[in-house]
Amino acid sequence: MTSIPTRVNLLIRTVIAAGSCLALSSAVVVAALLLIGVPIYAGLQYGVEALSSLPDLSSSGSSLIVESLATALVVAVAIICLAAIELSLRTVRTARERSVPAGALAQGTVELASYVLLLSSLLIVLATLPFFRSALPDPLFGFLVLLGFFYLLMAGYLWAAHEWVRSKDEVNDERTTGGNWLVIGVFIIGYLSVAYWTGFALLVVAALIWLVFGSILVPNHVDKIRDAIERRAAESAEEEPVNPAAVYGLTDEIRSVRTRVKQVTGLRPAIPMTVAGIVTIGASYWAAALVSVETVAIVLAAVSAFAFVSVHVGATIRAEFTGNSAVLRDLEDRFDLEKLTADESTGQVAIGLESAADREAGVDGSLESTVTRLARQADLPTPKIRVLEHSTPVALTVGYRPAVSTLILSRGLIKTLEDDELEAVIAHELSHLVNRDAAVLTALSAPGAVARLARSRYGYNPVIEPLAMLVRIISRWYVALVSRGREYAADDGAVAITGDPASLASALESLDTDLDRRPSTDLREWDTATAFAIVPPTWEEHPFFDRTRRFVARTIFGTHPPTEKRVDRLRTQLY
């Protein structure tokens, strides 16, 4: 039974963590809205001004009609470019989910969008400088400007180049070399447009428009261009070209969208798309005739940014509450959770609680029946069981409700523990479900897991990575704040279920001993699971600042109390 002071302490920790999680998520959403809205607003203003100043248009009629026509045209082009970016994001995400390479065209568009966001973030900083200049003391303002200067020159660009090269060499990275060539081409065009003629920038816009319409009207032509880029990139890098049949490209995603449109409307996809285009151009012309171009730009930027953010945030929230949490997807993204050794249709998993000798001899037991029995004792529905293909001993429970929760046990855990020890560990994880710890930690860990997924899906870029790092650091802190106070309660719950504190104490000691023998590279992959796992990873001593590092890792970001204290506490219950 948890004491009242302990409950109050846990409640205070949870409230602080929940407030931090909400503030962090809100800050990320606001940052995304600004980063998306600013370039759309600036691009629309620049496009209308450039078109209105053309001699053929400026002399063809009244300034109001010319400005309205230019606004309608620029809005239509902006929407097409935004469609190209959204389709490319969907292509890269779908390719990642299918464990196949994404096409070079989609990857290049995603990287182009990330660098546009970087430029827009600089515009936002420049716009806010007058405010900070008047609000902050001169020394502090000068220090911030100097810090920002060094970040942009060193951390921003040099680190970006380092990560870019490293990401190409990772075995499991889905990036194709052709995407890099496309980004280099965009930089060359950007330089030419600034140094020689602004019309060079129209090449990028024209390419994005061709990417959308070409994928719809002549998909085979787009596929040939993609394959040619891949072959050329592979030849220059002296690598084997990507197999076109194994690539999930932009045309594949558009075919999927066309199929869904036809299923929903019952019409040929060209019909609703044509109607939408006519309505957009007409509404833009009408709006520009009634209000200023700046108002149209603000509205389009706000609506587009809100639509982008809403779609992606909505998809994340929907996945979270349908049982496909970000924590689980992160584990699936990095490890193999699918190799169950029995027929999933029957729910029986042939990895069980036989002794170590029996396991070595190949004697199978039933893990499902053991989990079901312990869940009934705890008055819980049986969670889904997933086996983590990893030698590190890991046991964790993820989910917002017991009915849709998932119990994950690694191969290393099953091989390390004896029957009664494994039962005690399972009971400990089920206690997290009883106490709603799994729901709280899953919700609090979601921002950090989404940040990690963002990098693994979209590759490194200088906008997502700094934001993702900040989110992961803050998320780790408040998750640790809550997690540390809940392990003792889960230990007590496990004892209440099994009536055997000695087995849990023995299991904790066995796991701690096994982790001491693990190489550090094996443990670094475990960062997402530490908040849910039953024991923390072992400490790797460092030659410099070891005591400081240990304080930060164990006190500030530590998710578990010391295993020795937990073992001593359990052993006192034997007497």
Which tokens in the block code for residue 49? Answer: 């001004």
Radius of gyration of the chain (CA): 28
Residues shown for the chain: 575
The neighbouring-strand residues paired with 395 are: 409
Give dist(CA 182, CA 204) in Å, integer.
10
Give the contacts of 128 (CB within 8 A, at least 6 positions apart): none
CB 445 within 8 A of CB 475: yes
Which tokens in the block code for residue 547? Answer: 């005591």
Q: Catalytic one among 253, 320, 368, 429?
A: 429
Q: Three-state SS across 51-75?
A: HHCCHHHHCCCCHHHHHHHHHHHHH
> What's the gap between Cα 565 and its chain centre?
35
Which tokens in the block code for residue 253? Answer: 């995603």
Residue 429 is a catalytic residue? yes
Q: Using alpha carbons only, what angle is made at residue 348 by residues 406 and 355, rounded to the nearest 5 degrees?
A: 95
Which tokens in the block code for residue 28? Answer: 């990320």
Nearest to 105, CA basis, from 80, 83, 125, 85: 85
Give dist(CA 559, CA 532) in Å, integer.
8
Give dist(CA 74, CA 43) in Å, integer.
9
Active site residues: 429
